[in-house]
Amino acid sequence: MRLSIIMPVYNERATLEDIVHQVQTVDLTVNSDSTNLVLPGPVTLERELVIVDDGSTDGTREILDQWRADPPPNMQIIYHERNSGKGAALRTGFQHATGDILIIQDADLEYDPRDYVKLLEPLLEGRSPVVYGSRFLGGPRAAMSLTHTLGNQLLTIITNLLYGTSLSDMETCYKCFRRDVISDMVLRSRAFEIEPELTAKILKRGYTIFEVPISYNGRAFHEGKKISWQDGFSAVRTLVRYRFVD
């Protein structure tokens, strides 16, 4: 069984090498006492890293050029010639991924790949084909700014009200799902509204989203954080739109 890690990249020269090393070296062995494993445990998954550079201009592309010249067998590197947004990069990554299970990984260091096993375990146990890593279920984390905390909580509440669920963190990066969950899903978002679009369409298909606690090391705008309060309005519009249309 193969795990495809989809990594959208835009101007992440300072962190790219560190996060790729973490992704490539993290242990993907899932141990469980459950008798319901899709495969007999312990299970060690193959990995595939799909990097989509979304028009970086800060030197990120030069690092990727070196890897692209002699890529390891488990890495794909795809270029967008100009910046099109996180949603566009993820859509490209999904199209190129070959794994049975997909997980989204940002190219900064806010999320820790050592949490992959937490996400994979309930999926392989058959509890749900969709697992989200929540930053609000008690895992270790750096303090998030008040505005980001309130913004995340508000968007999650709106999601729960519109879709009748009880999520704690809709906007999390760590979304993990079986390939068939989105294989025929038409995704339209080009920017950060890809997060609510994915969630809305997964829920409308009747899937239950299982959540697990993860660690989080958030960064501020001066450290390179790109999502802003304006993106919150796009997220609300997206949640409302896909509640009533496909």
CATH number at residue 216: 3.90.550.10
Domain count along the chain: 1
Across the chain, mean pLDDT equals: 92
Among candidate residues 195, 179, 42, the one with its CA nearest the CA of residue 121 = 42
Q: Is the pLDDT of residue 231 over 90?
A: no
212, 131 contact by CB (below 8 A): yes
Q: Which whole number is the average pLDDT over 24-51?
A: 82
**pLDDT reported for residue 33:** 61
**pLDDT reported for residue 100:** 97
103, 183 contact by CB (below 8 A): no
Q: What is the pLDDT of residues 97-155, one digit of tens each?
A: 999 999 999 999 999 999 999 999 999 999 999 999 999 998 888 878 888 889 999 99
- Amino acid letter, 10: Y
Range of the domain at 128: 2-244
Please report, rounded to a whole number, the percentage of residues in the chain having pLDDT higher than 90: 81
Q: Is the pLDDT of residue 224 over 60?
A: no
Q: Which whole number is the average pLDDT over 161-186?
A: 97
Residue 245 confidence class, pLDDT cut points 50, 70, 90: confident
Around Cβ 98, how many Cβ atoms within 10 Å? 11
